[in-house]
Structure formats: C-alpha cells, structure tokens
Amino acid sequence: MQENYIKITGAVYKILDFFPDQDPLKNRAKEKALAILDNLTLIFDSHGWISLKSYLSEEKEKNAKQALEDIEMLESYLRIGKDQGWIDAVNFLIILKEYATIKAEISKRKHSGTSFKEEVKNLPVGSMQMQIISQLREMVIVEDKEEKAKAKSEKPKFIKSYTERQKKILKILKSKGRGQVSDIIKELPDVTKRTIRRDLDDLLKRGEIIRVGEWNQIYYKLR
C-alpha cells in the first residue's frame, strides 16, 4: 500500500517538472503532495488500514480529513497547470483517477470494525515510515537548492539578452505567425519540451509573445 502512495507522489513530482521554475505554484504543489503522503502514511499501515474508530481514532480522523482536503487542493493546482498548458490532459486525468481511488478508500475504511488488539498487531515496527518521509523531504530540499542556484546563475543572462534558443523561437513564431509547443519542437528537435516551455514562459514575462487558447489548443504568437 505504501509503495502505491510513493509511486503516485513520484508521478506528481515528474508532472510538476513541466511547471515553470519561477512559478510559486510548483513548490506549493510539491509541498502539498508530500503532506498528503505524510498523512496517508500515518493512517494506513503496511497491511492496508488502521481503523479510525479505535486506536488513536481522534488523531486518525484528523489525519484522514486533512489528507482529503490536501488532495482537493493539489487537484486544483494540477488543474491550473493543465489549463496553462504545462501538463497534458491525459496525465492530469491519470493522477486524478489515482487520487480518486485513495479518497474512496479513505471514505470506505472510515467505518472499519477492526479491533484494537488486531490493530496493535498490525502496527508497523521501527521507523520505516519516518525514513521514507525523511528521504522525500531531503529530495525536496536538495531540488529546491539546485533550482535556486540555477536561477541565480541564469539571472545575468536574463537581464542582458535573449539566448540563441529564444531567438530561434521568436524567429519561428514570426515566420509561422503562431505556433504550439509541438510546432517548435519540430523546428528544434534537440531541445526538450520542458526547456521550450521554460523559454516560452520567459518570453511571456518579457512581453515578447502572448498565449492564446486553452486546454490542448494553446498556441503562442508575437505580441
């Protein structure tokens, strides 16, 4: 059960890589995904579920409620990312389906009749849960430090001029009149989609281009 939570958290992190590095929503969503994992680890044991009606029932009710609220908030963050064109609709629906399963499981198991003695037997031994959470937190800290260091090193370039890649993107949009990310990738096959999105976000902030449309029909053109 815990492996499933770790997998979906990892999947969310990969999706969030497509969010602009400068957008505060990216880190907020990561923190929310980690908070969900924290609470799920506390209310589910290695065998599946610890009843909310007996062992530390009040605390587990609180954790379950918080997990549901955090999932709703994370889904809202991801929905914004989808509307902005940072993640595609398919990945968005897959993540929503996984969290919907978790929410259904929480609602279903709230009224479990497991006895106190049975729950104590099922309680995980040692601190494996805390180790998992600690490792994920360290990953977040390291990644945040790397992103800040990268942003700091790139700041002078942002102020001075456009990169050669950005100049090519502007040239492509000028010749075509408008274009989607997929159109630009065809012209720049050696550049990743994530890098192109970052360049487009940078050009948007500079006021060189505008974003038009929504969902999968988003395209860019010169202002």
> C-alpha distances in angstroms, 178 versus 25, 94, 210, 211?
27, 30, 10, 10
Is the domain spanning 161-222 CATH 1.10.10.10? The answer is yes
Q: What is the pLDDT of residues 34-44, one digit of tens each?
A: 888 888 877 76
Judge residue 211's burial from the number of C-beta atoms within 10 Å of its C-beta, 0-12 exposed, 13-18 middle, 19 or more buried. middle
Domain ranges of the chain: 2-151, 161-222
Q: What is the pLDDT of residues 58-105, one digit of tens each?
A: 677 788 888 888 999 999 999 998 888 888 888 888 888 888 888 887
- pTM of the predicted structure, to 2 decimals: 0.47
> How would residue 17 be classed by pLDDT, with cut points 50, 70 and 90?
confident
Q: What is the pLDDT of residues 90-144, one digit of tens each?
A: 888 888 888 888 888 777 665 554 433 444 344 444 444 455 455 555 555 555 5
Phi, psi angles (nearest 5°) of residue 120: -60, -40
Q: Minimal CA–CA distance to 113: which of 46, 49, 177?
A: 49
CATH class label, 2-151:
mainly alpha
| Pairwise CA distance, residues 186 & 203, whole Å | 19
Helix (H, G, I), strand (E, B) or coil at 219: strand
Q: Which pLDDT score is estimated for 218?
A: 86
Task: Show Cβ contacts of residue 55 under 8 Å, excluding neighbours closer than 6 positions.
Answer: 116, 119, 120, 123
- Would you say the CATH fold of 161-222 matches that of 2-151? no
